[in-house]
Homo-oligomer: A and B are copies of this chain.
């Protein structure tokens, strides 16, 4: 991954929106999760969640998710999620997702995920090459 912020654009569909014409909260949580999945694929050259699980029996489940909803995500406008690496632990990774529409920050999501053996569901250290890739991202300035 080039050393620049990872941006993930997404269309807001009619079906994402509720009676108020804004994206339903339960859809927004999914937008952030989608952006994080896309981040992993970008970071690991396409070998993200799906590859790790099916080929290496590694799962990276979320253990924590926090959302601050700052401004509504509006229908008819593109949402751009920026994913940033916040923290790299022995087994855990902290990622932050800013969701923006134009200049407006709509939400700020912070996540913690833990590397696990997908068979035993026990914690494992982050693989060296993945750790290295994550550490490079720690230094990227915000967009």
Contact = CB atoms under 8 A, between A and B. Distances in A.
Interface of A: 11, 13-15, 17-21, 24-27, 29-30, 33-34, 37-38, 49-51, 53-54, 59, 61-69, 72, 75-76, 118, 121
B53 A19 contact: yes
Given A13-B34, A14-B37, A21-B19, A65 B62 contact: no
A69 B76 contact: no
Nearest to A62: B25
A76 B51 contact: yes
Contacts of A59: 20
Contacts of A69: 61-65
Given A29-B29, A33-B25, A14 B49 contact: yes
